[in-house]
Amino acid sequence: MLNYKTLTVAAAILGGTALSAQAQELSFIMCGGEVRPADQKVIDQFQADNPGVTVKMEAVEWGTCQDKSMQLAAAGDPVDVAYMGSRTLRQLAKNDLIMPVTFTAEEEAMFQPGVLKTVTNGGQYWGIPHAFSTKALYINCAVVQAAGAECKAPATWEELVALAKTVTDNTDAAGIGIAGKDFDNTMHMFLDFLYSNGGKVFNDDGSPALDSKETRETLQLYADLLPYMQSGPTEWERDQMKDLFNDGQIAMYVSGPWGEGQHKEKVPTQIVAPVPHGPSGTNGTILITDSLAVFKGTGNEELATKLAKALTSGEAQYDLDSSWGLTPILQYEKAGIADPYYTKGNWPIFVAGISTGGPEPMVEDFKALQAVFTNMIQGIMLGDGSVDELVTEAGTELAAVR
């Protein structure tokens, strides 16, 4: 999600009033391309505030940077800080590879409500959130109106199904795009609806909670929408829905705040609305963060944490959130930023979902978790079982995932 660079910090250690002859070196892996100017400003200030510190940067592509950080740590040669999907934090913590994070009461109060749930496990924080997203429903008004319907956002699942049916019955377009491919955002999209129905994946004590009425109602929604989805839903992932939406081949789908900009040239009239709620819940969304993790065993943990917190606060974090079109991690009004970007346009829809949303589940084996959802979702799409059978099976599979 973010830019990834490798930062190396050589920090001189003060012993009393004299500088030690031996310098420290911090390695800091970040995903993506060039370092952002806002980050460089923080690093320059960090060097100025810590005499003797130098910072080197090396970009590591997102496709390999996360694995590289984990492999180095497992081999006993960890970097000091790495940018990670928060889903990896439990595995790293379980293997005693990263440091728990302590926030002051003031720091905690700066986060948007719900954000810190994405880095919490066993009553401790394991990462410093650095990129964040929520989701909403996008509607192509031209397609809806071509079906003879009013372009009005559905508030409930019943209204969602009815609108999808109207579009499918009266145009050449599908009513809704739903991800069904063996890919992580198939699970993510299902969780947008599950969290909009009061459902959970795990209880607060860590016990499995998927085998529930709320999950059955959510999977039934997928069964009800199946006749109105794009052709062959098991072959599609969410990011591919953008092109179908832009080409008028689907009327609706769920995506993040970046979607509005991706659509505006080809879809001049679109509605952004909260994910419709089910019979057992209120509008919700999945909460997904990427975080900075501080690794153990380097001898530089304190300095690394100091730099990581500097990069994830204030103007640097605001620049990231606003320029990348991300849901805000922090309540920037409390930092003295007047009229922040997320008070305008459709941003309040994405912000409102934070307090009612649920976190991306944090497990040691994410692929196994993803398979639980993929099997259940593809099962209903391919007619491989009833709603009750598939949810029961998913609950049993989830009990083996840790």
- DSSP secondary structure of 172-202: SSBSB----SSSHHHHHHHHHHHHTTT--SB
C-alpha of 207 from chain center: 22
- Residue range 241-249: average pLDDT? 97
Q: Answer yes or no: pTM beyond 0.85.
A: yes
Q: What pLDDT is attached to residue 54? A: 77
Q: How confident is the model at residue 23 (pLDDT cuts 50, 70, 90)?
A: low
pLDDT exceeds 80 at position 32: no
Determine phi and psi for 261, rounding to 5 degrees. -70, -30
Q: What pLDDT is attached to residue 17? A: 33
CATH number for 326: 3.40.190.10
Are both 181 and 68 inside the same structural domain? no
**Domain total in the chain:** 2
Are both 144 and 210 inside the same structural domain? yes
Are both 166 and 86 inside the same structural domain? no
- Residue range 82-111: average pLDDT? 95
102 or 20: which leads in pLDDT: 102
Tokens at 391, concatenated = 């949810």
Q: What pLDDT is attached to residue 22? A: 43
pLDDT exceeds 60 at position 4: no
Domain containing residue 37: 5-133+288-359
- Residue range 245-274: average pLDDT? 96
Q: What pLDDT is attached to residue 7? A: 35
> What residues contact 206, with CB distance under 8 A and at least 6 apart?
none
pLDDT exceeds 50 at position 167: yes
Are both 16 and 102 inside the same structural domain? yes
How many Å apart are CA 321 and CA 395, to the nearest integer? 36
Are both 65 and 148 inside the same structural domain? no
The helix or strand, by DSSP H or E, that contains position 10, with its residue range, turns out to be: strand 5-15
Are both 195 and 269 inside the same structural domain? yes
Q: What pLDDT, in 10s, does the model give residues 197-219? A: 999 999 988 899 999 999 999 99
Q: What pLDDT, in 10s, does the model give residues 94-104? A: 999 999 999 99
Determine phi and psi for 330, rounding to 5 degrees. -110, 160
Are both 30 and 129 inside the same structural domain? yes
Q: What pLDDT is attached to residue 252? A: 98
Are both 101 and 173 inside the same structural domain? no
In 3-state terms, what secondary structure has residue 138? strand
The candidate with the shortest Cα–Cα distance to 88, out of 365, 335, 295, 348, is 365
> What residues contact 124, with CB distance under 8 A and at least 6 apart?
93, 100, 101
pLDDT exceeds 90 at position 279: yes
pLDDT exceeds 60 at position 223: yes
Q: How confident is the model at residue 153 (pLDDT cuts 50, 70, 90)?
A: very high
17 or 223: which leads in pLDDT: 223
- Residue range 371-376: average pLDDT? 98
61, with CB counted inside 10 A (0-12, 13-18, 19+), is: exposed
Q: How confident is the model at residue 88 (pLDDT cuts 50, 70, 90)?
A: very high
- Residue range 282-292: average pLDDT? 96
Q: What pLDDT is attached to residue 224? A: 98
Are both 278 and 387 inside the same structural domain? yes
Are both 379 and 269 inside the same structural domain? yes
168 neighbors 224 (Cβ within 8 angstroms) = no
Please state at what angle helix 314-324 crosses helix 37-49, rounded to 10 degrees. Answer: 170
pLDDT exceeds 80 at position 11: no
Are both 25 and 128 inside the same structural domain? yes
Q: What pLDDT, in 10s, does the model give residues 324-363? A: 899 999 999 998 999 999 999 999 999 999 989 999 999 9
Share above pLDDT 70 across residues of the chain, in percent, rounded to a whole number? 93
100, with CB counted inside 10 A (0-12, 13-18, 19+), is: middle
Are both 227 and 369 inside the same structural domain? yes
Tokens at 50, concatenated = 């810590």
